[in-house]
A and B are shown apart, each in its own frame.
Chain A
Amino acid sequence: MNRVLDGAGLAAAVDAVADQVMTAMARVPRWALVGIRAGGVPLADRIADQVLARTGHRPLRGAVDITLYRDDLYTGLEKPVLGDTDLPFEVSGCGIVLVDDVLFTGRTVRAAMGEVWDFGRPAFIRLAVLVDRGHRELPIAPDFVGLTIATGLHDKVVVDWAGQEVGIR
């Protein structure tokens, strides 16, 4: 694996995303961090920890599993395992910050927006990602980014929270 970020670099990238989120949300009365399963949830946890540490308030938290909203369920991929979708707050009128580890084609984000919509009419949706690796196939752009890297179309970007590194395979 070709390492892009070591432990210190990963921590700095997380800090950068958290800073941008906090600045943008400072005047928003009601907003929530919503992790996209599975990769977005650990990043949403870390952002939430930083918000709590620096503001004394724990932000609203949620998670979405987009399996049932995917556009490639019928293309013969291995059967995905269904995870929890949990949005334990009133979505209508709430600002939503979707969180994912890697932004690639944008299809996952499209599916996640569709799912959030089925719970209510949010005030807005923003997108926070740790790594933007390019190759977008939809008109979707991140609002808060930790790191932007150039990748080949067939590369795999791996965010390893346990091993504290980000790499390209």
Chain B
Amino acid sequence: MKKKRKDLLGLRGVEREEIEEILATAEQMREISRRKVKKVPTLRGRTVVTLFFENSTRTRTSFDLAAKRLSADTLSFSVSTSSTTKGETLMDTARTIFAMSPDAVVVRHSCAGAPHLLARHFPWTVLNAGDGINEHPSQALLDMLTMRDRLGSLEGRKVAIVGDVQHSRVARSNIFGLTTMGASVRVAGPGTMCRSDLAALPVEIRHTVDDVVKDADVIMMLRIQRERLGRAVLPSAREYAAFYGLDLERLSRARPDVVVMHPGPINRGVEIAADVADGPNSVILDQVTNGIAVRMALLFLLLGNAEDASPT
């Protein structure tokens, strides 16, 4: 990276050149995962902590595996096993971890800005693995890498994001990253999940799915959080599927080569039909594979140039 970056907190304001560098590095990192010995010595002796205040399996394991493939030591802190349930504050938890001298901390928290707080107060590298409804930059980067595999350049591409855009940090990071890379983003979803105040972001808001799907190069379906179903924002899973889900019939109105994505975990039959999720347009599993490569690239680029660190 051109200027030395300590943390990756979001894609808002990250320049195109830097995103290009991350994606190009990730493309090279994929080769390591295809080797018999899936490990390089690059971050030997470094310690990467995953600090998760929200449940997560895929993002945490993806970061964990990425760090291990670069030979870093990894350590997991999670809310269910840590002291926050006993009333410890975020800063006190962080001070405890600081006393163990890690080099990087991967943070997920239900409050937007929690990783920024830690980045400001501690010398280690902070990677935001999702903060509230704000950002989830590594997910957007792996999404962009997956799109590039299928589409080549992102310049001029049309990306449709469908579902609960209002509460989606995945959507927000993608919106920032994709528009920086020259793509345009259209969003659609129920009025309660795709409100007009989204217009503050560089997106076009539509209210029917067919409207955003028809000429899209990419359709990104967002996970519907089941805990929201049956509440005021959304009547039922069946109704959601009928109006906003992606099934074969709706897909038939899109371009035949459209790329179908989903950050996972998927609700089959709700936001995405099983035969679409498993169909030829779906790249859902490529997203998982690319996630490891993107996170390896981020750890390498952020930790590999720490000037004050001692040589191995």
Are A and B co-members of a single complex? yes
Docked-complex contact A119 and B36, CB < 8 angstroms: yes
Cα A119 to Cα B305 with chains together (Å): 26
Interface size on B, as a range, is: 20 to 34
* Chain A 68-95 near chain B by CB (<8 Å), digits 1 or 0: 1101111110010111111000000000
Q: Of residues A68, A73, A79, A81, which shows the largest number of chain B Cβ atoms within 10 Å of its Cβ?
A: A68
* Chain B 271-312 near chain A by CB (<8 Å), digits 1 or 0: 000000000000000000000000000001100111101111
Docked-complex contact B310 and A68, CB < 8 angstroms: no
Docked-complex contact B306 and A74, CB < 8 angstroms: yes
A84 cross-chain contacts in B, Cβ below 8 A: 28, 31
B40 cross-chain contacts in A, Cβ below 8 A: 68-69, 115, 118
Docked-complex contact B31 and A85, CB < 8 angstroms: yes
Docked-complex contact A120 and B305, CB < 8 angstroms: no
Cα A115 to Cα B40 with chains together (Å): 8
Q: Main SS of chain A's interface residues?
A: loop
A83 cross-chain contacts in B, Cβ below 8 A: 28
Docked-complex contact B304 and A74, CB < 8 angstroms: yes
Docked-complex contact A74 and B41, CB < 8 angstroms: no
Determine whether B35 belongs to the interface, using a CB cutoff of 8 Å to chain A. yes
Docked-complex contact A120 and B310, CB < 8 angstroms: no
Q: Which of B1, B28, B304 contacts A73 (CB 8 A)?
A: B304
Cα A8 to Cα B80 with chains together (Å): 71
**A74 in contact with B37 given A79-B305, A84-B28 (CB within 8 Å):** no
B29 cross-chain contacts in A, Cβ below 8 A: 82
A79 cross-chain contacts in B, Cβ below 8 A: 1, 301, 304-305
Cα A73 to Cα B39 with chains together (Å): 17
Determine whether B76 belongs to the interface, using a CB cutoff of 8 Å to chain A. no
Docked-complex contact A114 and B41, CB < 8 angstroms: yes
Least CB distance, B21 to chain A, in whole angstroms: 8
B309 cross-chain contacts in A, Cβ below 8 A: 74
Query: Considering only CB atoms, which chain B residue lies closest to A70 in the complex?
Result: B42
Docked-complex contact A73 and B312, CB < 8 angstroms: yes
Least CB distance, A75 to chain B, in whole angstroms: 5
Q: Which of B31, B301, B307 contacts A76 (CB 8 A)?
A: B307
Least CB distance, A106 to chain B, in whole angstroms: 16
Q: Which of B25, B36, B301, B310 contacts A74 (CB 8 A)?
A: B310
B70 cross-chain contacts in A, Cβ below 8 A: 68
Cα A76 to Cα B307 with chains together (Å): 5
Docked-complex contact A82 and B312, CB < 8 angstroms: no
B28 cross-chain contacts in A, Cβ below 8 A: 65, 82-84
Cα A52 to Cα B310 with chains together (Å): 46
* Chain A 53-73 near chain B by CB (<8 Å), digits 1 or 0: 000000000000100110111
Docked-complex contact A118 and B39, CB < 8 angstroms: yes
A118 cross-chain contacts in B, Cβ below 8 A: 35, 37, 39-40
Query: Considering only CB atoms, which chain B residue lies closest to A66 in the complex?
Result: B40
* Chain A 113-137 near chain B by CB (<8 Å), digits 1 or 0: 0110011100000000000000000
Cα A84 to Cα B24 with chains together (Å): 11
Within 8 A of A (CB), among B166-217: none
Docked-complex contact A120 and B42, CB < 8 angstroms: no
Docked-complex contact A76 and B305, CB < 8 angstroms: yes
A76 cross-chain contacts in B, Cβ below 8 A: 305, 307
Query: Considering only CB atoms, which chain B residue lies closest to A115 in the complex?
Result: B40
* Chain B 26-55 near chain A by CB (<8 Å), digits 1 or 0: 001101100111011110000000000000
Cα A161 to Cα B302 with chains together (Å): 34
Cα A84 to Cα B310 with chains together (Å): 27
Least CB distance, B101 to chain A, in whole angstroms: 15
Nearest 7 A/B pairs, CB to CB: A82-B28, A76-B307, A68-B40, A74-B309, A68-B42, A118-B37, A73-B304
13 contacts between A and B (CB under 8 A): A69-B42, A71-B311, A72-B311, A73-B42, A73-B305, A74-B306, A74-B309, A74-B310, A79-B304, A83-B28, A118-B37, A119-B36, A120-B36
Q: Other than the known A73-B312, A82-B28, A118-B35, what 9 A-B pairs have Cβ atoms closer than 8 Å?
A: A72-B311, A73-B42, A73-B304, A73-B305, A73-B311, A74-B306, A81-B24, A84-B28, A114-B41
